[in-house]
Amino acid sequence: MQKRPIHIAIIEDDDEIRQTLALIIKGTNGFFCSATFPDSESALAQIKDLVVDVMLVDIELPGITGIEAVSKIKQLKPDVDCLMLSIRQDDEAVFNSIRAGAAGYLLKDTPPAQILRAIEEVHQGGAPMSMQIARRVLQSFYPTQKSPLSERETEILQLLSDGLNYRSIAEKIFLSPHTIKSHIKNIYSKLHVHSRAEAVKKAIKDKLI
């Protein structure tokens, strides 16, 4: 019995890139191009009736972005695997794509053979990434700089980021609310911020927590 090909749809606003990807997929055994779309809106309008296993999604799209589209696709069809195909290598693009539900992230200069292998990999449950992207993901697990905060201050900042208020933090780590306020004042001073939101944002950005 012949194995069913992997059904792929493409969301890409660049006509040449979209058509080239479709030709590569159509010309390779084991792959089938279900549809191509120049924007997220047209893809989302048809996704429910589309037979598709893997979506190749560009990030920089007119209207609804590729990242927003992935989130909506996963809501409408949770079993569809989304593979980002982008020129962007920045942390924001990569991690927002993953948070939205993307299962892989490739750069647009990836050779066609590698794109096809990545489609197979993501369809089999893998998480393919271009080498540069994989390195960024790994680096995200390590602090980018020495923290100016003490161990206790870092603990309090983590609890702040978890949404706890001063009194709850005090009860959790057995300190007085006054002491917690003093620590938080020091945290703001060391991080050069003026609010909880700014402190948490900077801590996450600089990987202090």
Residues of the chain with CATH 1.10.10.10: 151-205
Strand partners, 32: 7
Mean pLDDT confidence for 102-106 = 93
pLDDT beyond 70 at 56: yes
Q: 127-141: per-residue pLDDT in tens?
A: 999 888 887 777 666
Cα Rg of the chain (Å, integer): 22
Q: Taking a C-beta distance cutoff of 8 angstroms, is the pair 86, 105 a contact? A: yes
Please name the amino acid found at residue 187.
I
Q: How does residue 9 score in pLDDT terms, banded at 50, 70 and 90?
A: very high
- Cβ-based neighbours of 57, under 8 Å, separated by 6 or more: 11, 66, 69, 70, 73, 82, 83, 84, 85, 102
pLDDT beyond 80 at 143: no
Q: What is the pLDDT of residue 144?
A: 54
Architecture of domain 6-139: 3-Layer(aba) Sandwich (3.40)
pLDDT beyond 90 at 29: yes
Q: What is the pLDDT of residue 207?
A: 80
Report the chain's mean pLDDT, rounded to a whole number.
90
Mean pLDDT confidence for 16-32 = 95
Residues of the chain with CATH 3.40.50.2300: 6-139
According to CATH, what is the number of the domain 151-205? 1.10.10.10
pLDDT beyond 90 at 111: yes
